[in-house]
Structure 1
Amino acid sequence: MGTEGGRDTIASLRRYLEELKETGVDELPRAAVLQEEKPVQQTEATSSVDSSAPLMPVAEPQAATVGETLDDIRRDLGECVRCQLGAQRTNLVFGVGNPRARLVFIGEAPGRDEDLKGEPFVGEAGQLLTKIIQAMGFSRDEVYICNVLKCRPPGNRNPHHDEIVQCAPFMLRQVRAIGPEAVVALGTFAAQTLLATKEPISALRGRFHDYHGIPLMPTFHPAFLVRYPERKREVWDDMKQVMTLLGKEMPAKKG
């Protein structure tokens, strides 16, 4: 390999590692760096970047109908075994909250706690998300919370492309059934999947994007904030933009 090619490779690896750090992954095992075919394993508390995330927007689901409800979608999903995750989960995690919510939060996939309880964002990261929601002037029951995937990937590994293809259309149907005024994408994977892009979350956050005619704000995943609490201010800046869009009053400063 020439000097220039080696520099390009090093630069690419450095950018990749920087993107992983944004989602809470500090380092990769040596084998994962040397062998690209081996997937990066993430910890229970992290959201992840996956090279298989689709570059094309999620297709309009054929089963979607005008006026369908969340209950309709849940019945259509059934005890889903459309991909390999269906045979490995404990509970399918559909989503919770107000079926007519003004604001929808979308994460990546259920973790261990969510898989056990059958509800999204109930672990440590979920507790932080609840605090963020409350700081915005909402209760958790007033918003809607779901994930791109409805089943936990084993060991919280990165979602595979075929899993995204099978599951993401149901997420889009959920959003359309709710008809929110805004969507918040939590973390790199959710933002990249919803916006059909490979841009890192650091480049996507801080401004609204269009998601099927709905303003979408990407921001850091709560799991990332658990590990890097100094980045909470950036997430709060993002949420203040969402509050302004929704006409919510800013909380009074203490002291």
Structure 2
Amino acid sequence: MDAEQESRYNPFGMDETCRNCERVCDVRERVVHGYGDVGADFVFVGEAPSEAAERTGVPFTGDAVGERFQDILGQVGLNNSLPDSEEPELENAYLAYLTRCRHPERPPSDEEVATCEPFLNADLRMINPEVIVPVGERALAEIGEEYTTTPVADLDVVTHHAERIRGRGFELMPMVHPGAMTDEQKDEFVTAFLDLLGTDYRQTKGRRGR
């Protein structure tokens, strides 16, 4: 974790009482902001908090899907704790969502994603990662539209799972959502990510050295 960082949870002090989306605010339990290493090279972005993540307050934790995701991070050297930890000891990784609140009955609307976008944009500007990992189809569509020149219609999370996609300012490596990921796809992502770590993936962007 960054030496100057005091906490992995919501390290940038973003608004935890946000009420920009009234239809969600009245039914959510809490706002789930980003979590992890503010000096990370890798930012993992999902669609919205799961019921478990809403309970723990930490993205991608608290249930079997979260454990599978955290196990993947452990296999590639980004998580130093057990997969079932609700406060994983992440190094060089940061976790976030397109939207920070969970509606118990439906996925986030396009309007809610757009309203919440400044939170993710702020995370990315302050962290300035080398690689963004969109987790799931919705995350790939939204991030792909914003940060690549590839038409959204040509981006498919299964087709591009574990592939490196050149973006505008960032490189993308899409991941099939761990709740839908096969064992073969899991192994494929781990292998591809380890191969990535073995390359000179860092770009010259005026970022701090690690």
**1:101 Cα offset (Å):** 1.1
**Length-normalised TM-score, structure 1:** 0.62
**1:245 Cα offset (Å):** 4.0
The root-mean-square deviation of aligned C-alpha atoms, in Å, is: 2.1
Whether the aligned pair in 1 keeps the contact of 2:162 and 2:193 (CA below 8 Å) is no
Which residue pairs with 1:240 in the alignment? 194
- For 1:73-152, what aligned pairs fall within 5 Å after superposition? 74=14, 77-83=15-21, 84-122=23-61, 123-139=63-79, 140-142=89-91, 143-152=93-102
Instruction: Please identify runs of 4+ aligned residues in structure 1 that moved more than 6 A.
Output: none
Between the aligned residues of both structures, percent identity stands at 27
Q: What is the letter of the counterpart of residue 171 of structure 2?
A: P
1:219 aligned residue (164, 175, 182): 175
Q: What is the letter of the counterpart of residue 94 of structure 1?
A: H
Whether the aligned pair in 1 keeps the contact of 2:16 and 2:31 (CA below 8 Å) is no
Secondary structure at the counterpart of residue 219 of structure 1: coil
Q: What is the letter of the counterpart of residue 99 of structure 1?
A: V
| CA distance, structure 2, for counterparts of residue 245 and residue 153 of structure 1 | 40
| CA distance, structure 2, for counterparts of residue 183 and residue 242 of structure 1 | 13
1:159 aligned residue (108, 118, 132): 108
Whether the aligned pair in 1 keeps the contact of 2:137 and 2:157 (CA below 8 Å) is yes
The structure with more helix, counted as a fraction of residues? 1
Whether the aligned pair in 1 keeps the contact of 2:75 and 2:190 (CA below 8 Å) is no
Whether the aligned pair in 2 keeps the contact of 1:98 and 1:144 (CA below 8 Å) is yes
- For 1:4-83, what aligned pairs fall within 5 Å after superposition? 70-71=11-12, 74=14, 77-83=15-21
| CA distance, structure 2, for counterparts of residue 194 and residue 179 of structure 1 | 15
Which residue pairs with 2:125 in the alignment? 176
Stretches of structure 2 lacking an aligned partner (at least 5 in a row) = 1-9, 80-88, 146-151, 202-210
**1:93 Cα offset (Å):** 0.4
The count of aligned residue pairs is: 173
Which residue pairs with 1:7 in the alignment? none
**Length-normalised TM-score, structure 2:** 0.74
Q: Per chain length, whose mean CA-contact separation is higher, i.e. which structure has more relative contact order (CA < 8 Å, sep 6+)?
A: 1
Residues 19-59 of structure 1, C-alpha deviations (whole Å, 9 max, x = no match): xxxxxxxxxxxxxxxxxxxxxxxxxxxxxxxxxxxxxxxxx
Cα pair distance change 1:132/1:206, threshold 3 Å: closer
Stretches of structure 1 lacking an aligned partner (at least 5 in a row) = 1-68, 248-255
| CA distance, structure 1, for counterparts of residue 103 and residue 35 of structure 2 | 20
| CA distance, structure 2, for counterparts of residue 110 and residue 164 of structure 1 | 12
